[in-house]
Structure 1
Amino acid sequence: MNLDSDNFLNQYWKYYLTLEAEFIELEKIIPIDPVNKNTFSLKYLELVFSICSEIDVVFKQLLLFNGYNGNPKDWDMPDYMRFIKENCNKFTQEKVIYNNKRESSPYSEWSENKNLTWWTKYNLGKHHRTDEKEGLENYKRINQEIVLLSLSGLYQLELYLFAYITKENSNEEDLRVPAPPSKILEMKNWKHNRIFISDNTILE
């Protein structure tokens, strides 16, 4: 099945919004604040597992959409980084803004051919959960900061996939922000032709 805007919204964006909603619920209990950046919980662990699993899914779809060679089952982070560096010049410099004030660049380490710190901690938490380093178990390294970075990374990736899809259709060329929009995240300097009055009201 060809991936168009409607398929994207139903298959990927709705799930992103579900994960974001879970994050917002946790935020009510543990506010996003520098003093809480190292706070961990089993809920954070569960959420990061879901977010990063979806990142892998969406990256595979992005590569498939662009005709990347090989078997998707074999693709992993080195393939994703290679594709991004060859095809998306601004990707590693993009900034995701949380609640209009806090900026992050989830993929900036790729500009120096380094592994993503938040992805590495996710993998350690997933595959070596109770191993210790410097007296701290790996699952405790999946903290508030890692959750926010991984969610920002998924958000950025979703917007890039949506941009590729809408670019394929000349009638949607500038519709680079899905609706309804994120409640907490936006891309800095991300140009589009939508103004959201509310989740269900859009000026184009």
Structure 2
Amino acid sequence: MSFNKPFHRNYRPVLKTGSQAGYSDWAYIIDREYCQNPEHYTRAFLIIQEDLKRLFEFVEPADKNCATYSFRIHELLMRTCIEIEANFKAIFKENIFVPVFNNGSRQGQPRTEKYWNINDFKKINKTHHLDDYSIEFPFWKGTKNIKKPFSEWKDNDNLTWYQAYNNAKHDRLNNFEQANLDNLLNAFSGLCVLLSAQFRDVDFQPGPDNLQTQGYNYFGGGFGIGDYLIVNYPDDWNDNELYSFDWTQLKKEQNRFEKIDYNII
């Protein structure tokens, strides 16, 4: 069973039926009811991306430099992972997620946003297929320019780069080396994936949208938000997971969106 309305902050393909399938695949993303203040999240990403590109003026994007660590890299890793957490929480808050404590003195009481963690965020992988995205860095020397930041979730493993972030955050002195270029780029790729899984390549910046899915480019195209990273989208959606609406008609309705109930996932 496909879905006849889009979910909040959940980009997924539309069944390729009908003359409006191409339009319906993206137009709902720029509807103001789709999500709250999307530009708040894309702007933060674009600022981090510019800072990362500036870092590349001093540390060459190359296999040999993946273990490089510094205070600047540590700073970018912290900011990037904070943005990742902010996006995960925004997805929960605009859908349905009301967890409770399972044990202890507060058993059965609501577990507020302050206590949400990476194990909660893993639920979003099931609705957004994060583990099937890959990100490609266009400028690179070597073979490690393609990142699959959520692939460890396929085997229900922990995210190495996210653990490194927590280690370097809570004990920087003894875990400073974990704030290295490789973990930063995996985290930044993860942020790009998370935004792509919500907004595709829409950046919500002033001026007209120029939505393209193909074109002539030295790197082959497929650029995500900010036109720097190349985003490879999931190809493992089942037909019963896809959208099946005609946005030219649905956009006329008052209730155009549905909420995902993460309490049952």
- Equivalent position of 2:189 in the other structure: 152
- Please give the secondary structure, in 2, of the residue aligned with 1:28: coil
What letter is aligned with 2:163?
T
Question: Cα deviation per residue 1:114-138 (whole Å; 9 max; x = unaligned)?
Answer: 110000011000002122xxxxxx1
Aligned pair partner of 1:74 in 115, 132, 137: 115
Q: Which has the higher strand share?
A: 1
Aligned pair partner of 1:26 in 55, 66, 90: 55
- Equivalent position of 2:137 in the other structure: 98
Question: Cα deviation per residue 1:14-43 (whole Å; 9 max; x = unaligned)?
Answer: 110000100000001111000111111110
Give the 3 Å change call, closer, same or farther, for CA 100–68 of structure 1 in structure 2: farther
What letter is aligned with 1:142?
A
What letter is aligned with 1:177?
D
Q: Distance in 1 between matches of 2:149 and 2:196?
A: 14
What letter is aligned with 2:230?
E
1:100-139 to 2 correspondences below 5 Å: 102-131=145-174, 138-139=175-176
Q: 1:5: Cα distance to partner?
A: 6.2
Q: Distance in 1 between matches of 2:48 and 2:202?
A: 15
- Please give the secondary structure, in 1, of the residue aligned with 2:57: helix
What letter is aligned with 2:158?
N
Give unmatched runs, 5+ long, in structure 1: 132-137, 163-175, 192-204
Give the 3 Å change call, closer, same or farther, for CA 21–37 of structure 1 in structure 2: same
Q: Which has the higher helix share?
A: 1
- Equivalent position of 2:198 in the other structure: 161
Q: For the pair shown, which has the larger CA radius of gyration, 1 or 2? A: 2
Residue 7 (structure 2) pairs with residue 7 (structure 1): no
Give the 3 Å change call, closer, same or farther, for CA 6–74 of structure 1 in structure 2: closer
Q: Distance in 1 between matches of 2:76 and 2:41?
A: 16
Give the 3 Å change call, closer, same or farther, for CA 32–4 of structure 1 in structure 2: same
Task: Name the structure, 1 or 2, with higher relative contact order (CA <8 Å, separation 6+).
Answer: 2
Identity %: 26
What letter is aligned with 2:232?
K
Moved over 6 A (4+): none
- Equivalent position of 2:93 in the other structure: 64
Give unmatched runs, 5+ long, in structure 2: 1-31, 100-111, 206-224, 236-265
